[in-house]
Amino acid sequence: MTSEFVRLEVADGVGTIRLDRPKAMNAISIQVQDELRVAAAEATARADVRAVVVWGGEKVFAAGNDVKEMSTMSYTDMVDRVEALQGAVNAIARIPKPVVAAVNGYALGGGCELALAADLRFAAENAVLGQPEVLLGIIPGAGGTQRLPRLIGPSRAKDLLYSGRFVKAEEALAIGLVDRVVPAADVYTEAVAWAARFATAAPYALRAIKESVDRGLEADLETGLQIERQHFSSVFATEDSRTGMQSFIENGPGKATFEGR
Ligand code: HXC
């Protein structure tokens, strides 16, 4: 499939999933959803992608799902489509590598949900986030009612979900919706710099951390600890664990060169 609006650009171990549909403020149409899934699969599969940045360019992250397209859909259309729609954002959330969203401008509705699927979010000083679906008489359908309360707590999430109000970068930082606020011109480069730290890290250890945290958060503590034990034991099967511990013994901390095996 040739992608028109979403592409994966790879440089120095970092893959950028770039949304590029400027005429519609990067609105996430069915085509964009399909292309996001393809890009996520490619970022997952490629060994030269060790970490991922999701970016919508300098002006806008994404103003939501495509309202014009959605407005023509019936209940049964949506029943048939909703799994693929949510699946596009889930595909980003399940990339087994560190993923950061770099948010310039608006991240609204499905755009905010896409940012929520990343491990963390860097926002421009001019970023505006929100879940305005209720103002359209609908609700978030790509994880907003689930990932948002898990991230910022149920009360704050309901405040945003009930009102549909927009949140500026400063407030987003204060409530934990974003993790870092930087000048607009620096968001992407800061996100790439964060991701680049993992280009030479031990990928199977990173993967085990991500799965332990994400799966563990879905479970009770005892189950989460069991998940952790499983992943902890399994990383001892990697060459990187031999390399990492041997390097520590011989040369001290943080000097290992990992092969990614
Ligand atoms: C389709 C959109 C769009 C969207 C903007 N546009 N957002 N088209 N879907 N979500 C289009 C406009 O229609 C317009 O097209 C052009 O982009 C520029 O938008 P303007 O409104 O003229 O720009 P501005 O005044 O700067 O306002 C920007 C804005 C506003 C604040 C982002 O456009 C806005 O509120 N957009 C909708 C936000 C929203 O409700 N998002 C949630 C969608 S529902 P023309 O052709 O007129 O130039 C959703 C559901 C998720 O995401 C649940 C399932 C995953």
CATH number at residue 244: 1.10.12.10
| Site to substitute for ligand 1 among 25, 113, 160, most atoms within 8 A of C-beta | 25
**What pTM was computed for the model?**
0.97
Structure tokens at 8: 């994966």
Q: What are the CA-CA distances from residue 222 to residues 150, 208, 225 (Å)? A: 19, 17, 5
Gap between the Cα atoms of 163 and 160, Å rounded: 5
pLDDT exceeds 90 at position 33: yes
66 lines ligand 1 (CB under 6 A): yes
Gap between the Cα atoms of 68 and 28, Å rounded: 11
Which domain CATH number covers 160? 3.90.226.10
- Radius of gyration over alpha carbons of the chain, in Å? 19
140 lines ligand 1 (CB under 6 A): yes
Domain that holds residue 133: 6-196
In terms of Cβ atoms closer than 10 Å to its own Cβ (0-12, 13-18, 19+), residue 1 is exposed
Gap between the Cα atoms of 158 and 160, Å rounded: 5
pLDDT exceeds 80 at position 15: yes
Residue that is last in its domain, among 150, 166, 196:
196
Residues 176 and 123 sit within 8 Å (Cβ to Cβ): no
- Domain identity same for 125 and 229: no
- Domain identity same for 216 and 233: yes
- pLDDT, one tens digit per residue, over 63-116 is 999 999 999 999 999 999 999 999 999 999 999 999 999 999 999 999 999 999
- Domain identity same for 168 and 224: no
Q: Whose CA is nearest to atom 28 of ligand 1?
A: 63
CA of 64 to the centre of ligand 1 (A): 7
CA of 38 to the centre of ligand 1 (A): 24
| Interior/surface letters 171-194, b for 16+ CB within 10 angstroms, e for the rest | ebbeeebbbbbbebeebbebbbeb
- Domain identity same for 221 and 137: no
Gap between the Cα atoms of 86 and 60, Å rounded: 21
Q: Where are the alpha helices (DSSP H) in 63-140?
A: 67-70, 75-93, 110-116
* Count of positions (residues) in the chain: 261
HSE of 170, CA atoms in CB hemisphere, 13 A: 0
The tally of domains found in the chain comes to 2
Residues 179 and 190 sit within 8 Å (Cβ to Cβ): no
67 lines ligand 1 (CB under 6 A): yes
- Domain identity same for 95 and 210: no
56 lines ligand 1 (CB under 6 A): no
Q: Whose CA is nearest to atom 12 of ligand 1?
A: 24
**Whole-number average pLDDT of the chain:** 97
CA of 26 to the centre of ligand 1 (A): 9
Q: What is the pLDDT of residue 1?
A: 59
pLDDT exceeds 80 at position 2: no
Gap between the Cα atoms of 58 and 52, Å rounded: 17
Q: Which atom of ligand 1 lies nearest, measured to the CA of 65?
A: 52
Structure tokens at 103: 């948010």
Q: What is the pLDDT of residue 66?
A: 97
| Site to substitute for ligand 1 among 33, 67, 126, 168, most atoms within 8 A of C-beta | 67
143 lines ligand 1 (CB under 6 A): no
- Domain identity same for 102 and 117: yes
- Domain identity same for 166 and 37: yes
- Domain identity same for 211 and 186: no
CA of 66 to the centre of ligand 1 (A): 8
- Domain identity same for 22 and 74: yes
In this structure, the number of other CB atoms found within 10 A of the CB of residue 163 comes to 13
Q: Which atom of ligand 1 lies nearest, measured to the CA of 131?
A: 42
112 lines ligand 1 (CB under 6 A): no
Q: What is the pLDDT of residue 30?
A: 96
- pLDDT, one tens digit per residue, over 164-223 is 999 999 999 999 999 999 999 999 999 999 999 999 999 999 999 999 999 999 999 999
